[in-house]
Structure 1
Amino acid sequence: MAGEIPDLEAQVRTGTGKGAARQARRDGMVPGIVFGGDTDPLPINIPFNKLLTMLRKGRFKSTLFNMKVDGHDDVRVICRDVQRHVVKDLPTHVDFMRLKRTTKINLYINVEVSGEEECPGLKKGGVLTLVRPEVELVVTAADIPESITVDISGLEIGDSATISNVNLPEGAKPTIDRDFVIAQVSAPSGLASQSDDEDEDETAADEVPTTEMGASDGDKSND
C-alpha cells in the first residue's frame, strides 16, 4: 500500500470565508482545508468532478492521499470530513488532516494468499474463497504495509484461516475486535451436492415405514 498512495491535486484558495467558498463552487471547485501538523491551515480548492469520482469509489475517508499543491511540499493527508448539500447530497466542503509519521490511522490493506501449491485441501479439489480481500487495520503513517499475507499451506477442505493466523506488521492491529475469517477452503459444489444426496439416501434406508411392518406381522399371524 505504501507504494500505491494515490495523488490528490489541489489548488490554493485565495481568500477565506463564505464569499470565497461560494466563488469556488461557481468555478466548479469544492473548497476545503488542510490542517494539523506544525503548519498553519491551508485553504484549498479541489475540482468538483475529480472529488466526486473519488467519493463514489468508496472508502474515501479511510484512504491515505499524497496531496500535491503548487508552491507547497507534498504531504500525506487523510480526509476527516465531507460536508454535503442537504438536498442534492453533493460535496460542498472537505477537510483533510496532515499526518505525522507517528499518527495512527485506519486504512484498508490488501490481502495476499501464500501456500496455495502446498495446500492439501486444494490438492483434493477444494475451492479457495478469499472472504476478506481487504482488512481494515490501525497503522502508523510511517509504517503502512503494501499488503498482508495469509498462509493456507496447511488447510484441509472445510478449514479456515483467521486474522490470528496472519503475521501483522509491528504496531498494526485490526479494527474488529474478534478473530474473523480471512480465507477458507470448501468442497467443490458438485462434491458437496453428492455428499448431501448420500446423506439423504442413508436416512431413507434407515427409515422403515410402519405400514409395511404391520403388514408383515399380519402375514405371519395368518400363517
Structure 2
Amino acid sequence: MTHWWRSAAGHLRTVAVSRFSSSVFRRSHYHTIQAIPRECTGSKVSARDRMQGRIPAVVFFQNLLDKNLDGRSQSKKHLLTVEKKQIKAILNSFDVPYFCSTRFPLQIRAGSGSSHLVESGTVLPIKIHKDEESGQILNLVFVWAEDGMKLKVDVPVVFKGEDVCTGIQKGGFLNKIRPSLKYLGPSEHIPSKIVVDVSNLDIEDRIFIRDIEVHPSLKLLSKNENMPICKVVPISLGNKEPIVE
C-alpha cells in the first residue's frame, strides 16, 4: 500500500512554491496608514472614538509579548486611533487573511489634521478584533516591521489549480489540512501568502510542509515538516471536512 502514500515532492515540488507578490507589495505601500495618539484608555473612551469614525489601535515591538522587555521596546509603544474609512478601504483592496501578513507604512500625526509627524515607520497588523454580532472593528494591533526585524507571522496558504486538478476531475476532493504556516524571519522576506499549486495532484497525492519554498532567511515554526498541507482524497470517503494527519 505504500504507493498510496507517495509524496508529491518529486515532480510536484516546483508547484508548491511561495513568492511574495509584487502587486501586494505595491498596494500595501499605496496605503500609508494615518494615525493619531490617544492618551486615555477604557471602554467609554474607545466607544467615543468609534462614534467619531475612528478605531482604537496599538503598535509595539513584537518582543513586548515576551517577558524580557527593554526601554527601547517600551518607548516605541504607542496607543493610537486610526480612521475607520481608511481601514475599510484597505480591507476592501486586500483579502482579509493577507491583511495580517502584509506590511504597511504608518505615520503618527500629533492630532487630526496636524502636519506634525510624531513617529513613522513600517508596521504589520497582527490582530483585528471585531464584534461577533455586528462585525464592527473594535480595535487593531500592529507591530513594528522595519527591514531586518525578525517577526513571527502566520502566513495564509492559498490553493490554486483546483479547477483543473487531476484528482478532483477523477472524483476526488481537496482536503485542505493547513490553512496557514508560521514563520520567523526578517520582516521584508515574509510573504503575504503562500500559493500552493494543486493542479497536478492525483487522488491520494499530497503536498507536505517540507515541499514549500520560501526565502532561506525564514525559519518554519513547525514541529513536523513531514505533515501534509493538503491531500486529494477519494470522494467515497464521504466527509469533506479537513482531515488532520
Q: Shorter-chain TM-score: what band?
A: 0.5 to 0.7
Which of 15, 21, 40 is the matching residue for 1:17?
Answer: 40
Which whole-Å CA distance do the structure 2 matches of 1:155 and 1:146 have between them?
24
Q: Percent identity at matched positions?
A: 12
SS at match of 2:49: helix
Spell out the pairing of 1:15-164 with structure 2 (5 A cutoff).
16-18=39-41, 23-36=48-61, 40-48=76-84, 51=87, 54=91, 59=97, 62-69=100-107, 71=117, 72-79=119-126, 82=129, 91-100=137-146, 101-111=148-158, 125=170, 129=174, 131=176, 134-140=179-185, 141-145=187-191, 148=194, 156-164=202-210
Query: Which structure 1 residue ranges, 5 or more long, are not aligned?
Result: 194-223
Is the contact made by 1:2 and 1:144 (CA closer than 8 Å) also made in structure 2?
no
- Structure possessing the higher radius of gyration over alpha carbons: 1
TM value normalised by structure 2: 0.50
TM-score by length of 1: 0.54
The unaligned stretches of length 5 or more in structure 2 are 1-19, 62-71, 110-116, 238-245
Greater relative contact order (Cα 8 A, min sep 6): structure 1 or 2? 2
CA deviations on 1:132-162 (whole Å, 9 max, x unpaired) are: 5853221321211355465779865423222
CA contact (8 A) 1:10 1:68 kept: yes
Asked if the contact 1:163/1:179 (under 8 Å) is kept, the reply is yes
Matched residues in 2 for 1:132 and 1:52: separation? 30
Q: 1:45 to 1:95 in 2, by over 3 A?
A: same
1:169 aligns with 2:215: yes
Instruction: Give the direction of change, closer, same or farther, for the CA distance of 1:186–1:74 in structure 2 (3 Å limit).
Output: same
Whichever residue aligns with residue 123 of structure 2, its letter is R
Distance of 1:86 and 1:161 partners within structure 2: 34
Aligned length: 183
- What's the CA shift for 1:173? 0.9
Cα distance in 1 for residues equivalent to 2:231 and 2:132 = 43
The ranges of structure 1 where at least 4 consecutive aligned residues each deviate by more than 6 angstroms after the TM superposition are: 84-89, 151-154
